[in-house]
Amino acid sequence: MPHEIRVTTPDELAAMPRPKAWLCDMDGVLIHENLALPGANEFIKALESSKIPYLVLTNNSIFTRRDLSARLATSGLQIPEDRIWTSAAATADFLASQSPGGSAFVIGEAGLTTALHQYGFVMTESDPEFVVLGETRNYSFSAITQAIRLIEGGAKFIATNPDATGPSAEGPLPATGSVAALITTATNRQPYFVGKPNPIMIRAGLNLIGVHSETTAFVGDRMDTDMRSGLETGLQTHLVLTGSTDLADVDTFPFRPMAIHEGIAGVIPLIS
């Protein structure tokens, strides 16, 4: 008999262990279209007042961590840049561990190029070790062509995240995953995606704030990235229904979150 998919009750929540650290997705959990979601400010304030380590994660590679801190502030959320972890920063961290001081041809915005520079990478079109694909609102046909030729010439293919589309006021936009698929079709080379759901982004975030997976919780709005990466990293997983996932969607996946909440306010009782 399958378990009923429903929002976690207060009694069930009270029986759960109290996490010693928190990871939290950004879009669809804390904010939606640059507006703070109900309970987001209270969630961050509860973590700060309890001195509990936390990190806000996003697969967005367009903006720097400082940019995102400023954007969150305009939404009323005071989150310092050292409490933000992007797929761009995770990609730079990963590449620095693979090839310190390496070189890369980059398709992306300041969030990605700044992170790579901070980790000592050189940007070049001449025989780079890596082609690194991130998100941009202005994908260039000539840059994609150059990437294809460099990959065919031996450069290793890295992408910040597999998201096929991104949100905009006008509707979905093609994102990193879609352009990566185009390059893969042309080169027959699959990229290595660093961002969620790759657990490597989560583990790097845990290391950044000095906490362990067994005592950390992850709050997200997507089953395919947030809950999957949390599960594969051994975190306590909390799904909120304010973003990409409806309650009915949960049953289409072969795994379950530990708890389901109407919104981020639902996890605040676990902060102590």
* Residue from 149, 173, 60 nearest 110 by CA: 60
Residue type, 5: I
Side-chain-facing half-sphere of 27: CA atoms under 13 Å: 15
**Residue among 25, 67, 93, 226 flagged as catalytic:** 25
3-class secondary structure for the chain? CCCCCCCCCHHHHHCCCCCCEEEEECECCCEECCEECCCHHHHHHHHHHHCCCEEEEECCCCCCHHHHHHHHHHCCCCCCHHHEEEHHHHHHHHHHHHCCCCEEEEECCHHHHHHHHHCCCEECCCCCCEEEECCCCCCCHHHHHHHHHHHHCCCEEEECCCCCEECCCCCCEECHHHHHHHHHHHHCCCCEECCCCCHHHHHHHHHHHCCCHHHEEEEECCHHHHHHHHHHHCCEEEEECCCCCCHHHHCCCCCCCCEEECCHHHHHHHCC
Taking the C-alpha atoms of residue 62 and residue 152, their distance in angstroms, rounded to an integer, is 26
**Strand-pair partners of 260:** 239
> Known catalytic residue: 25?
yes
**Residue among 27, 93, 221, 226 flagged as catalytic:** 27
> Known catalytic residue: 246?
no
Active site residues per annotation: 25, 27
